[in-house]
């Protein structure tokens, strides 16, 4: 009985220490406000680096961006959109006609199939318009939660946060919203990001991860939130 009590007490102590450690790795509310205030000062009106001129063009670009760079997607859509930038025009191209425009992008065969199928649904169910509704967006071929979040935020101005590899890395490294998977990070960000910064939080974090908090070699010396960040392996300041 005594041994059992000791084991229980030890487990409780370990759990308590782990909980304290997790809290210590998280930014405080004041630190989070400061973090976004600094990012906002650097870039008051951030935007996606994908080229688009309509919600439909954005939707197509984001579908193409899966496992591809924005630069690569832009090279393809800069040729595609002057020729076909509506569901009807892309359907007129057909799957075989669409592929040459996007063949430089990874997984282009599957993406072409999804885009054609999406165009058919948009015409049949939404009059050729991109629906302003999460469930409707996620029901489209090639569209998951992340893509829906991008469209809702960038095309329709909703304060959603699409968590990609850059945002996942920044949220975990900094202690902003640590999580084991993208949904946990998304939920954590929606909980802690102050309302005044929520609209642009997605773009601030993705750009910070892309150009400063890089995966292999973070540029901590030029990071405006270096003093707030919980990442232990910071690169040296210059």
Long-range contacts of the stretch 35-40 (C-beta < 8 A, 24+): 35/174, 35/176, 35/225, 35/228, 36/193, 36/194, 36/197, 36/201, 36/204, 37/197, 38/224, 38/225, 39/204, 39/205, 39/208, 39/224, 39/225, 40/197, 40/200, 40/204
CA 180 vs. chain centroid, Å, equals: 15
- Active-site residue identified among 43, 99, 120, 164: 164
Q: Is 146 a catalytic residue?
A: yes
Q: Supply the CATH classification number for the domain 55-154.
A: 1.10.340.30
- Active-site residue identified among 146, 214, 219, 233: 146
Residue 35: its pLDDT value, please? Answer: 98
Residue 25: its pLDDT value, please? Answer: 83
Q: Do 45 and 207 form a contact (C-beta atoms < 8 A)?
A: no
DSSP structural state of residue 212 = T
Residue 15: its pLDDT value, please? Answer: 46
> CB neighbours (10 Å) of residue 211?
11
Residue 141: its pLDDT value, please? Answer: 98
Q: Give Cα separations from 158 to 30, 63, 167, 207, 220 (angstroms).
A: 24, 19, 18, 19, 31
Q: Do 144 and 155 form a contact (C-beta atoms < 8 A)?
A: no
pLDDT per residue rounded down to tens, the chain (238 residues): 555 555 455 444 444 444 444 455 899 999 999 999 999 999 999 999 999 999 999 999 999 999 899 999 999 999 999 999 999 999 999 999 999 999 999 999 999 999 999 999 999 999 999 999 999 999 999 999 999 999 999 999 999 999 999 999 999 999 999 999 999 999 999 999 999 999 999 999 999 999 999 999 999 999 999 999 999 988 776 6
Long-range contacts of the stretch 84-92 (C-beta < 8 A, 24+): 85/53, 85/54, 85/56, 85/57, 86/56, 86/128, 87/56, 87/118, 87/119, 87/120, 87/122, 87/123, 87/128, 88/119, 88/123, 88/128, 90/60, 90/115, 90/116, 90/119, 91/116, 91/119, 91/120, 91/123
For tokens 């010396």, the residue is 221
Q: How many C-alpha atoms does 204 have within 13 Å on its Cβ side?
A: 24
Select from 181, 191, 164 the least CA-distant residue to 48.
Answer: 164
Q: Is 187 a catalytic residue?
A: no
pTM of the prediction? 0.86
Select from 47, 55, 35 the least CA-distant residue to 206.
Answer: 47
> CB neighbours (10 Å) of residue 94?
11
Q: Do 174 and 229 form a contact (C-beta atoms < 8 A)?
A: yes
């Amino acid at each position: 009985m005594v041994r059992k009590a000791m084991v229980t007490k030890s487990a409780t102590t370990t759990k308590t220490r782990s909980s304290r450690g997790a809290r210590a790795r998280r930014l405080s509310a004041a630190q989070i406000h400061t973090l976004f205030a600094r990012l906002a000062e650097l870039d008051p009106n951030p935007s996606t680096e994908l080229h688009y001129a309509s919600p439909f063009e954005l939707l197509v670009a984001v579908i193409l961006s899966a496992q591809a760079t924005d630069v690569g997607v832009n090279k393809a859509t800069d040729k595609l959109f002057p020729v076909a930038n509506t569901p009807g025009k892309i359907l007129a191209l057909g799957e075989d006609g669409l592929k040459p425009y996007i063949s430089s992008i990874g997984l282009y065969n599957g993406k072409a199939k999804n885009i054609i199928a999406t165009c058919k649904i948009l015409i049949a169910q939404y009059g050729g318009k991109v629906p302003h509704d999460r469930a409707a967006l996620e029901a489209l071929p090639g569209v998951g939660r992340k893509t829906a979040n991008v469209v809702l935020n960038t095309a329709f101005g909703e304060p959603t946060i699409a968590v990609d590899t850059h945002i996942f890395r920044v949220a975990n490294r900094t202690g902003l919203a640590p999580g084991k998977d993208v949904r946990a990070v998304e939920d954590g960000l929606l909980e802690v990001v102050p309302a005044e910064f929520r609209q642009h939080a997605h773009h601030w974090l993705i750009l910070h991860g892309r150009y400063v908090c890089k995966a292999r070699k973070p540029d901590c010396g030029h990071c405006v939130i270096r003093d707030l960040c919980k990442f232990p392996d910071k690169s040296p300041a210059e």
